[in-house]
Each structure stands twice: as structure tokens, then as C-alpha cells.
Amino acid sequence: MTLPSHAEIVVIGGGIIGCSTAYHLARDHKADVVLLEQGKLTSGSTWHAAGLVGQLRSSASITRVLKYSVDLYKGLEAETGLATGWKMTGCLRLATNADRWTEYKRLATTAKSFGMDMQLLSPAEVKTMWPLLETGDLVGASWLPTDGQASPSDITQSLAKGARMHGARLFEDVRVTGFEMKDGRISAVKTSKGDIACDKVVNCAGQWARQVGALAGINVPLQAVKHQYIITSKIEGLASDAPTIRDPDRRTYFKEEVGGLVMGGYEPNPQAWTTGLPGGDVPDAWEFRLFDDDYDHFEQHMNQAIARIPALESAGVKQMINGPESFTPDGNFILGVAPECANMFVGAGFNAFGIASGGGAGWVLAQWVVDGEAPLDLWVVDIRRFSGLHRDRQWVRDRTLEAYGKHYTIGFPHEEYLSGRPRIVSPLYARLQEHRAVFGSKLGWERPNWFAPEGVGPEDVYSMGRQNWFSAVGDEHRHVRENVGIFDQSSFAKYEMCGADAQKALDWICANDVAKPIGRLTYTQLLNTRGGIEADLTVARLGEEKFYIVTGTAFRTHDFSWIGDHVGKELDVRLTDVTEDFGTLSLMGPRARDVLAAVTAADVSNTGFPFGHAREIAVAGHTIRALRVTYVGELGWELHVPIAAAGEVFDALMKAGEAYNIRPVGYRALESLRLEKGYRAWGADITPNDTPEEAGLGWAVKLRKNTDFVGRRALEKINGAALKKRFAGFTVDNPETVLLGRETILRNGEPVGYLTSGGYGYTVGKNIGYGYVRNADGVSDDFLASGDYELVVAIERTPARIHLQPLYDPAGSRVKA
């Protein structure tokens, strides 16, 4: 077949992700799609994938994506006539210790929160289901009956046939060699067999996705890692419908195949394939190829597997598969529109669960390509979660190998990565170390999570219950409530928008009214066309044509790209990232004004500097941007300091604050403080799936003003209608309870939602959680108030009390918790 000269959408890569995306673009959207594969379909890494299909993840949206895959695979053969090898065998996850068992109890609760039935089984029940297993060391196992397995090549060929049936054109033996660019967009794909003009490109090139992206100046941070598994000869007594097994404490997995077993694992010492050095790319000519068998490296898995299934010791090994798989620095796959190029979309880096993800990932990616925005909350896999840091291939390699090694480790709450640190530090790093700071990392920035008192080791000790920092964080929390604390929040993402049309651009982008006088500060959401919350930030007006935008550390690339994508090209607007230009010191607590007044001649009285205002003031001889705003529910300011002056300003505040008992405070206290005040966290409590009205933030939307903005039409359609879900707070009295999020909310004994975040409020002395209460017939005040509530925490029901107002009032009148 001859390549066409033009296509609406070009999909690059003929593995399961590319074929699924082409299938959904053609089937659901009747798009003009061309798929290009440099070799043969499946010839990269799809053909040698193990084919396990699991569904449960910690994100409701990603779980929905994986459940869609299962539903698609069930019916695909009937549509295309090609078998997929799908078998719904169910999956057993084995637990050999108390922490793993607690993890499974939490997973079982999460599963029920997401509408899935995960059961917990005894060792005897496991033995009945899988007689060949050694179960003497088991505490128990989780059982998800709707998981299964499939043939990766068969599914992909079936999707490819389906794509062709719906009009997509697929071409093999065509290598992409470059892109023709015009005004920062791709106008044509250059290939080994000619050029194709196009409107959009979808990079599903698997382990080549980084290199394909680089041809257009786009960064796709992934790393190819060698992953091995074996296929055994027939094993006597192994049932053909035996459940798949994940044995994470032994770092291995198993599935039945033609009477034998597929067995592989995730070792703590993985082997990278490619490097960041010259010549370290994935070679183009790697069609249906594998690495040499490496039994020395695989021996660690073999020993563990034989201990679990003794029959393996006498089973023959028919084949060892040692092939590359693409992994990412955080273990989540990559979807979405590239921040560097508005018409290249990416679907790559599937961390060896591309088969489980393939159907659903193609579905949402196709919708994303057509609409220009994600169809649901896909933040955890959005390519815009990365930053310039992720262009460092050595850093990506090191972090990805650590993530691979954690694939089967226990998922302790609040666990931090260790590799590649410290990477980015504020000027206060050494000073905070002297105060015994215990740092965490966010998008490469070192940030103090808590400060260890004398006699307490300055490090995290992870557990499933209360961790070693719990008491110390409580002291920090109370200090901010009673005195004054200083937070180093220099990692905040910061932008400036300037130009004659800056206000016009922000009027369109922001849901709240930013058309305020110079010196005013606005808290606002940015919405998608469905009315969902895409960002949550503050905008300070510094001049007629100058605005200062501050958002969360992790959202730097995402929010900058979202704003830039929604500024009309005809407008006179300049958007600049100034994150590294300013350090941020948040001065918070009832004595904050006393400290600030002692270091500046500016009027910082409530009359002279009201809440929601921004001023330039002088501190320690430096001009700083002071924003009167709080995320902790106390009097306070964010002080945005020229980065080189951050140390001097910090020293001046600490010296002046001695009289008021000032102390540095960390992010874990910040989290506890915001929970008591009911402030929402984007990515958890508020997401693209939630509207401001559902989130209790309708007051921050300018619907009464005759100004159009992104999402307004969607909100107007539902304005006044009964809300089917509403954000609410909950407290639990039991001091042993640990709330983390995803716990099921029961109303009168029936599930009505799940927590989006959770923690402990030291002032109110209660466990605090937030989540959405759902009811198809509407969630009124009466509906909320009239129910009896419980939370399901690690499968145990515990009484809870609902709250529709903040638990803490800085004036001293606290809502009864």
C-alpha cells in the first residue's frame, strides 16, 4: 500500500497501545486515522509481554480505565472474529506478614469504594483454590475474581482488525524519521517512505517513544529495563483455569499457560538497557528480538518461586523471555498532550502492564486527541506531571530503576523515593538541616516534611499505623495555631502574565473574577469544558498589565501548559515561568503580624493590609511580594522573596520572631492544618471530575457576572439542578484509626462514596477525612444531615460524624468534631 499524503491523525507505533488508540479513534470518532509501525505489528515489546490483566489502582479513574480494558477484551472476538486469549481466571495476591495484610485490607476497601468485589481469603481457602501452592507462611490472600489474563499479540491483532473495519489505515515497515514543524506544531510526519501531512500525531512508539518525541523537541521520560520470565513445560495437577498469582513478598508472579506456568518477577536490582550516554538509545532494528538468557540474574526469582510452588523444581523450562519493557520514574504510565507541542499526544511507558491498560488507555487517549482535553481525571498519568528535571536521562534512569525495584514492595503511606536526591534545594536547605529537618521531595525540590526533636532520629520510619513523626508533627501543628511558624514553600510554581490583554486572557481562563484593582489577590479554579476543575491557584494583580500566578509544586508544567493553551493566539500576552526567581516563605499563626511588623516599615495592620491583598514591601533591605493568604486557617502571609535574598529574609524573620516563639514548620503539619480548615487539595479533593458547586466552591465562580469563561456553559446547564454528589468532611473518634483516603463512606449502612483525603487534626483531636457523598436522586442538606455515617477503614466499619463546615475557626469558635 502507498502512504497517503495527508491524514487527520497519525498514530505512531503498532503495539497494543497504538492499535487500541487507532481502533477507538476510528470506531468512536470516525476519524481519518493512519497508523505507522516501523516493523510488524506487536514486534516491539507487546509480543513478549506476560499478559496479566489486573484492574485495581489507587485512582478511581485509572481503575475505570483498566476495568474498561477487561470489558473490551471480553467482547472483542465477537466483533472482529479474532481470538484474544482472554480468560477471566481471577487473581490471588499473597500476604506473608502483617503489614502486607493491612495493605490488602486497605486495598479491599478501596476496591469496594470503586465498585469492585475484592475478597480476603484464609491460607486454607488459598490452598483449596491452588493446591500446588505452599501456603504455610501465608497470613492470607486477596482475591479479585474479575482479573485475568490474555494473549498480548492476539489482542493487538484483534484491535488492529477492528481499527481497519472502522476505516483506519495501518502500515507496517514504515519508520518515522522526523517531523515538519510550523509555529510550534507538527504539520507533517516524515517517514522512510514519504511524508504525511497531518493535523495531530499520537506517539505510541513504546520503548522508542522518547526518541520519537525528541524528533519534535518533546520529552517522554521513560527508561527501557530488562524484564525476564520463564515458560515451563506442563505441570501435573495444574488446572487450566488456575487463578493468576502475585506473590509480592517473594517478588514473583505466575499465570497458567498451556498446562505450564509463566513465572517472572520484579527484582530490587533491575538491569537498565539503554543509558543517557551517546549511543545509548534503543536501536531501530529490534523487531521480535530478545536479550540473551540471564539465569544468574533470574536465580533470585527462581529460588523464591520454587519455595512457593515446589512442583517448579522438577518442571522443565521451555523458554526464557528476556526483553525490554518501558518504565517511568514514578511507576505510572504516560498519556496526554505534550507540553512542548500542542498537537502531539503521547501514550507510552506502561511499566509492564500495557496489556491490562491497553484497551482503556486507547479509549481515553482517543477521546483526549479529539476533544483536546482529558475525558476524566487522568492526572496521575498525565505527561504534564513531569518537568524540565525529567530531561536528565541519568536522573530518569536512576529514579526509574528505583521505581521498578519498588513494584512489589509494601506501599507504606507517605513513603519517599531516595534516588537522585537532593536535586533542587532552596537557599534555606542548610539552615533547615540545622533545625533537624526531615526532607521529602516533590518534582525534584527538597522540602521539609517535619522537624525531628532532640532524641528523635531525623528520618522517616515507615509503618501501616502511626509513624514516628506523628507526635512531632502535632507539636508543629499546635505551634502554628498558638504562636507563629515559618514554612519554606519555595518550590511553589510561579508565573507572570503580562501584556495589554493579560486581564482579558485571565477573564476567559479563570472561573473567579480576577478583574480587580491593582493589589488584589484572587483564589480561583481553572475549568475544563465539562465544568471540572483543572487547576486551583491564586492570581495577584501587580499592575494594570501584570499578574502573578502561584500554584502547587507538582502542577508546574500542567498549569503553565493549560494557561498557555487557552490564551488566544491573537492576544497581546506574555506568560513566563518565574519559579526559580522567587523563594517563598509562608509566615503563619496568630503572631505572624507581630513578626512581620518588626522587619518592615510597611503597614501590615488589618486595615492597611487586608486579607486577599498583595503588596510589595521591604524586608531586610529587599523588596518582596507579600500575599495575604493562608492554607492553614490562621493569620498569615506568603512572602515571595528574590531567590538570592531568601536566606537573609529568613534570618531576619527568625531573629525578629524570637520574641514570639517562631519556629520552622514542615509540610506534614501544613496538611493537618488544612484538613481542619477544610481547604481542598487539587488532585485529591478537587479534580477534573468535580465541579466547583459539587466541591463546595461555587462561591468562587463568577456566574453572576456577564463574563464568559472556560466551563461556563457546562455550569449553566446544571445550575440550579440537584447535585448528585457533594463534598463533605468526616471525623472519627477512634484514636487508633488511620485515615489516608479511599475509605468507603457508608450512610445508613449503604455505600455512598469514598474519602478523597484523610489525616489527623491535632487541634480538634480527631481523625479527619473528606470525600463526596453521592446519591442519584440528589444530595440536599437534609439528605446529608439526616444520615447515620460510618467509614470502612481496612475493611472495618467505624462510626463517623459528617461536617459541612470547617472544623476549626481561628477566631476560637470551633465546630464540634
Tens digit of pLDDT for each residue in 253-272? 999 999 999 999 999 999 99
Measured from the Cβ of residue 716, the count of other Cβ atoms closer than 10 Å reads: 11
Closest CA to 599 of 655, 641, 643, 543: 655
- The bridge status of strand 485-488 relative to strand 663-664 is parallel
- Domain extent listing, the chain: 6-85+150-223+330-385, 91-146+224-321, 493-580, 582-660, 681-803
pLDDT at 697 over 80: yes
pLDDT at 197 over 70: yes
**Pairwise CA distance, residues 32 & 169, whole Å:** 8
DSSP letter string, 372-441: SS-SS--GGGBGGG--GGGG-HHHHHHHHHHHHHTTTS---TT----TT-S-B--TTHHHHHHTTEEEEE
- The set of long-range contacts for 271-276, using a CB threshold of 8 Å and a minimum separation of 24, is 271/225, 271/226, 271/297, 272/223, 272/224, 272/225, 272/226, 272/397, 272/400, 272/401, 273/224, 273/225, 273/226, 273/324, 274/223, 274/224, 275/393, 275/394, 275/397, 276/392, 276/393, 276/394, 276/396, 276/397
- The bridge status of strand 176-182 relative to strand 437-442 is unpaired
Which CATH superfamily is 681-803 part of? Aminomethyltransferase beta-barrel domains (2.40.30.110)
Contact yes or no for 590/482 (Cβ under 8 A): yes
pLDDT score, position 25: 98
Residue 211: which region, alpha, beta or left (left: phi > 0; alpha: psi -120 to 50)?
alpha
pLDDT at 278 over 70: no
pLDDT score, position 813: 47
Which CATH superfamily is 91-146+224-321 part of? D-Amino Acid Oxidase, subunit A, domain 2 (3.30.9.10)
- Ranking 113-122, 193-202, 618-627 by mean pLDDT, the lowest is 113-122
The cell for 678 is 477544610
**Pairwise CA distance, residues 78 & 756, whole Å:** 38
Could you tell me where the DSSP H helices lie in 235-344? Answer: 295-308
**Pairwise CA distance, residues 67 & 110, whole Å:** 14
CATH number listed for the domain at residues 6-85+150-223+330-385: 3.50.50.60
Supply the mean pLDDT for the chain: 95
pLDDT single digits (tens) 412-424: 999 999 999 999 9
pLDDT score, position 268: 96
pLDDT single digits (tens) 392-412: 999 999 999 999 999 999 999
From residue 351, how far is each of 164, 330, 378, 403, 648 by CA, in Å? 28, 10, 17, 10, 45
**Pairwise CA distance, residues 702 & 690, whole Å:** 17
pLDDT band at 562 (very low <50, low <70, confident <90, very high): very high
Closest CA to 481 of 807, 27, 150: 807
pLDDT at 814 over 60: no
pLDDT at 134 over 80: yes
pLDDT at 431 over 70: yes
Contact yes or no for 564/575 (Cβ under 8 A): yes
Residue 330 CA, chain-centre distance (Å), reads 9
Determine phi and psi for 501, rounding to 5 degrees.
Answer: -105, 20
- Ranking 215-219, 466-470, 716-720 by mean pLDDT, the lowest is 716-720
Mean of the pLDDT values across residues 473-500? 98
HEC profile of 641-656: EEHHHHHHHHHHHHHH
**Pairwise CA distance, residues 164 & 644, whole Å:** 59
Q: What percent of the chain has pLDDT over 90?
A: 92
CATH number listed for the domain at residues 582-660: 3.30.1360.120
- The bridge status of strand 91-95 relative to strand 244-247 is parallel
pLDDT band at 352 (very low <50, low <70, confident <90, very high): confident
Contact yes or no for 514/507 (Cβ under 8 A): yes
**Pairwise CA distance, residues 594 & 598, whole Å:** 6
**Within 13 Å and on the Cβ side, how many CA atoms surround 255?**
23
CATH number listed for the domain at residues 493-580: 3.30.70.1400
Contact yes or no for 730/755 (Cβ under 8 A): yes
Buried b (16+ CB within 10 A) or exposed e, 621-651: eeebbbbbbbbbbbbbbbbbbebebbbbbbe
pLDDT score, position 399: 97
**Pairwise CA distance, residues 755 & 675, whole Å:** 13
From residue 170, how far is each of 131, 215, 286, 317, 335 by CA, in Å? 46, 22, 20, 36, 22
Mean of the pLDDT values across residues 281-299? 93
795 three-state secondary structure: coil
Helix 646-657 and helix 592-599: axis angle, to 10°?
120
The cell for 3 is 502512504
pLDDT score, position 279: 66
All residues at 6 or more sequence positions from 468 whose CB lies less than 8 Å from its CB, including other chains? 456, 457, 460, 461
- Ranking 85-89, 471-475, 540-544, 730-734 by mean pLDDT, the lowest is 85-89
**Within 13 Å and on the Cβ side, how many CA atoms surround 516?**
20
In this structure, which amino acid lies at residue 196? Answer: I
pLDDT band at 812 (very low <50, low <70, confident <90, very high): low
Helix 152-165 and helix 354-371: axis angle, to 10°?
30
pLDDT score, position 244: 95
